[in-house]
Amino acid sequence: MKLFKIRTVADLTKNYIITSSKLKVAHFSIIALTICTTFAIIANIRAPVFLQILLFLLGGFLIYKINFKLKSFRYNLDFYLILRESLLYVLHTNRLYTTSKDSSGYEKIIRSAILEYELDRQKGHVLIKALITGDEFSKKVQSLDSVLSGALGLELEEKIIRPSFTEYHFYYIKPERLVLQSHNQRQEIDSLDIDIDLGYGVNYNPIKCPNILVSGGTGSGKSFFISFLMLEFLKRQSTVYIADPKNSDLGSLSYYFGEEYVATTPNNISRIVRQVLEQLHERYQYMRENFQYGANFSEHGFKPIWLIFDEMGAFQASGTDKKSKEVIVEVMDGIKQIILLGRQAGVFILISAQQMRAETLNTDLRDNLGLRIALGANSSEGYRMVFGSATPDKLKPIEVKGAGYLYMQGSGKETAQYWESPYLDTTQFDFIKELQLYITKLK
């Protein structure tokens, strides 16, 4: 019900006719008036007692209904009004206005800082835009973090300083961590337009945002998260290749995926990277020969190919002699091609590393990894190595297993956000059993 639009701006020079307390008074007055008139009318009707009782009951019911309608109407408006009043309060108490005395000595507000606000009730998102107009408040409105946070009783999620306004983002609905459920049947997702739900309000689609980086110290939850992603890739009928130079969790999956798809030694890793590259070039060739303007791989009937490269740092450290160093150079060159050319052909890479040093992957290539995640506690240099300029200024401590920071290119967020990876309860969720729904055991 949208009868009239409320001005979603707080400005002390304006007079606001509708306020939440006035609305409350109006609501109760209407109800009181309705009760009085209804019952006065009924009491004055000449009718048998039983009919009057019936009319009273009917009247009571009617009033209940009217009250219900009014209440929901008022609650809808109240969200906006209370927000505006909190912002006016902030402007007032922080003296974000300038007064001037008129001829009769009456002090009047002549200028005020202006706070615009937007409310998305579905997401529970409040966006406050403090306008920067070059007036005396322009500096102050860029640092309202704690003041706004206190007035709204919410934690500041993100702050973006733009040329003509500063954005403050708050959420009053806490995003929820995804909890993995086991299935008895395989799920097939045909359309690549359907995003992968990463939980905590994050949806990921490799077509819009190709390639993934997962970094984090030992025990931070990299393998758990990669296992989850692997299942999501398989549901989308992707071909998955695994390179696990440390030959740990992922390497042991060769039993299910087949040796052709899983590599643990440098030579084998180099072989699967070559294999992926061959398919990439074949796809390019095919798409050139069957050229359709603007068409991507899926419109040519191709499914995604994912190369999961665990512990890239360990792989690079393994090169000790001349021969193995050559292999590493060749593999890294292949990875570079996949990162730079893969998107069009639907060939993607997921890289995991304990530390994302510039020697592991130079920053230009890193910036081409669309989804970047840092799990577990990290130093601010650690975050900077993963997120670069998207490192948030204020970082929350990481206290939950599998939690960290996430940055997704094109998501509209300027900096990395706090995030908790899908929760995998091993007593409830059997990864291998789940995997077997998608992979028929080889040999």
Ligand X SMILES: Nc1ncnc2c1ncn2[C@@H]1O[C@H](COP(=O)(O)OP(=O)(O)OP(=O)(O)O)[C@@H](O)[C@H]1O
- C-beta of 237 vs 252, nearer to Mg ion: 252
Q: Which does 165 bind (CB under 5 to 8 A by kind): ligand X, Mg ion, none?
A: none
Q: Residues of 146-175 as b/e, b for ≥16 C-beta within 10 angstroms? A: ebbeebbebebbbbeeeeebbbbbbbeeeb
Establish if 44 lies at the interface with ligand X (CB under 6 A): no
Minimum CB separation of residue 11 from ligand X in Å reads 46
How many Cβ atoms are within 10 Å of 353's Cβ, its own excluded?
Answer: 23
* Structure-token pair, residue 55: 């009319």
Residues that bind Mg ion (CB under 5 A): 222-223
Closest to Mg ion by CB, 216 vs 266, is 216
Touching ligand X, residues 244-263 (CB under 6 A)? none
Q: CB-wise, 251 or 422, nearer to ligand X?
A: 422
Using an 8 Å Cβ cutoff, are 273 and 344 in contact?
no
By CB under 6 A, is residue 421 in contact with ligand X? yes
Name which of 218 and 379 has its Cβ closer to ligand X. Answer: 218
3-state secondary structure at position 108? strand
How many residues sit in the footprint of ligand X (CB under 6 A)? 15
| Sign of the dihedral through C-alpha 405, 410, 411, 414 | positive
Please answer whether residues 350 and 306 qualify as being in contact, where contact means their C-beta atoms are separated by less than 8 angstroms: yes
Using rule CB under 6 A, residue 223 touches ligand X: yes
Of residues 328-387, those binding ligand X (CB under 6 A): 354
Q: Is 222 in the site for ligand X (CB under 6 A)?
A: yes
Task: List the interface residues with ligand X, window 114-143 (CB under 6 A).
Answer: none
Contacting range for ligand X; rule: CB under 6 A; set: 51-59, 155-163, 313-321, 418-426: 418-426
Full strand arrangement of the beta sheet holding 212-216: 262-263, 239-243, 305-309, 347-353, 212-216, 371-375, 403-408, 417-420
Q: Dihedral sign, CA of 74, 75, 76, 79?
A: positive
**What minimum distance in Å lies between the beta carbon of 370 and ligand X?**
21
Rounded alpha-carbon distances, angstroms, from residue 337 to 240, 318, 349, 371, 422: 18, 22, 11, 18, 30
CB of 222 to ligand X, least distance (A): 3
Q: Which of 19, 284, 401, 414 binds ligand X (CB under 6 A)?
A: 401
- Chain positions contacting ligand X, by CB under 6 A: 216, 218-224, 354, 401-402, 421-424
